[in-house]
A = this chain, B = another copy of it.
């Protein structure tokens, strides 16, 4: 991944092949555009992988603000990032549970779901999740919009017991679309 201090891939730039826990310690004030050359990455609002999460897949992000933009939440920065450990698309698998601590009704997911309700999940929330294989992005709203949470088999043994574990700024169990992450 190559990150740039200005929009449209201008200004100071740095290339990374592994995680960066604080872009300012690498001598860059801020990130305004990004080019992902390979792999899938997760970017974080704060250093040390804290705060809001953003999935970054192969392609060009000429205006970080436009990409991350969310009127309900104005502080938008990209301060740290790391690669995501994905499985092959076909073998990605997770279970979502109605209640926290893996209780209540559940459903196994092994595809992309732009609307969980359309596939039969009756509520706009998820209580807890277990990623069996691969990595997924979960979104607050249908159609892959709103707050994002990256869920990986390789982290926390794939266990996400409570919405407070989904991300350091997560404030709601609302999840309405989920998709697999692939390289």
Task: List residues of chain A with CB under 8 Å of any chain B CB.
Answer: 36, 55-61, 63, 65-73, 76, 112, 114-118, 124, 137, 140-146, 176-177, 179, 181-183
Contacts and interface: CB of A to CB of B under 8 A. Distances in A.
3 residue pairs, one from A and one from B, having the closest CB atoms: A69-B71, A59-B142, A66-B72
A179 B114 contact: yes
Copies in the complex: 2
B183 A59 contact: no
B146 A144 contact: no
A66 B140 CA distance: 10
A61 B72 CA distance: 13
A117 B71 CA distance: 28
A116 B65 CA distance: 21
A153 to B, nearest CB: 18
24 contacts: A36-B115, A36-B142, A56-B142, A56-B143, A57-B114, A57-B118, A58-B115, A58-B117, A59-B115, A59-B117, A60-B124, A61-B142, A65-B71, A65-B72, A66-B70, A66-B72, A66-B73, A69-B69, A69-B70, A69-B71, A69-B72, A70-B71, A71-B71, A112-B179
A16 to B, nearest CB: 17
Nearest to A121: B59
A63 B124 CA distance: 13
A54 B176 CA distance: 16
A141 B72 contact: no
Given A69-B72, A71-B71, A71-B76, A61 B115 contact: no
